[in-house]
Amino acid sequence: MNTTPDEANLALWLDDELEGAELAALEAWALSQPDHLAAREETRCWRLLIAGAIPHSEEPPFPDFFNSRIAQGIRDQMPTPVVHEKKAAFWKSWLMPMAACAGMVFAFWIGTMSETQSLAGRTAEIEIPVIPKAIPVQIVYTPESGVNAELFASDATSPMVIVLSGIAAIPDAMDFSATTYIPREREFDSTAGNGPLPTEETH
């Protein structure tokens, strides 16, 4: 048999991993191939050399299993703490809700008392005789900037006078002669007031 083997079988043969009929066929072929025989011998030498140089190590199987077993052994050797369950006092079952209810009632009572006191304080404040009641004060307001108004209040019988200052003069060219209604004397005299003249002036 002089058939040349394929590369894959040849590589397996060089590594001594070929078996069966394929190994026999390739051995028969290699008898006439001294180069390949020398190469296989060289490969075997290298394999032996490498196996001698690299230390053989082996990982332990399932390290987690062993670690968990070790931890369990440690726990088994430790003393187990004894839990003593204290039985709650019988009065705690009703004292706590009662205290909470009493607190809420007290807070509500404090609130009502403070409101009553504040109302009483307000009433007392209103009834202080020193505070004047509803003094009528005439308000004079000038929304236009630069305009001022001054109120001159006299006694009860004299007219009230408001003096405006800072207002623009009416142009002299403006003519009011076309006013439709010029009052007669007896009509506008009442406008200016016809009561008794004031006896004193207060500014």
Partner 1 sequence: MQAAHRALIRIAAVWLMLSASVSAQEDPGKAMLGEVNVTVYYATDGDPAAAGARAAEVSSDTQSRFRSQPQLGFKNYRAIGQDIQPVLRSYESWAQPLKPSDEILIKFEARSAPTPTLMLLDLELWLSRKKILKTDARLEGNRPLLILGPEWRGGRLIVAVALAQKEKSGSN
Give the residues lining the site for partner 1 (CB under 8 A): 136, 138-144, 147, 149, 151-152, 154, 156-164, 167-170, 172, 174-195, 197-198, 201
Is 140 in contact with 153 (CB distance < 8 Å)? no
Decide whether 13 or 158 has the Cβ nearer to partner 1.
Answer: 158
Other CB atoms within 10 A of residue 36 CB: 17
Is 12 in contact with 26 (CB distance < 8 Å)? no
Q: Shortest distance, CB of residue 196 to partner 1, whole angstroms? A: 8
Distance separating alpha carbons of residues 2 and 32, to the nearest angstrom: 9
Decide whether 15 or 155 has the Cβ nearer to partner 1.
Answer: 155
State whether residue 36 is helix, strand or coil.
helix
Q: Shortest distance, CB of residue 106 to partner 1, whole angstroms? A: 50
CA atoms within 13 A on the CB side of 183: 8
Decide whether 41 or 144 has the Cβ nearer to partner 1.
Answer: 144
Task: Locate 95 and state its tokens.
Answer: 């004292």
Decide whether 51 or 169 has the Cβ nearer to partner 1.
Answer: 169
Q: Shortest distance, CB of residue 115 to partner 1, whole angstroms? A: 35
Decide whether 64 or 175 has the Cβ nearer to partner 1.
Answer: 175
Distance separating alpha carbons of residues 141 and 31, to the nearest angstrom: 132
Q: Shortest distance, CB of residue 135 to partner 1, whole angstroms? A: 13
Q: Shortest distance, CB of residue 116 to partner 1, whole angstroms? A: 35
**46-64 burial code (b ≥16 CB/10 A, e <16):** eeeeeeeeeeeeeeeeeee
Continuous segment of H or E residues that includes residue 9: helix 7-14
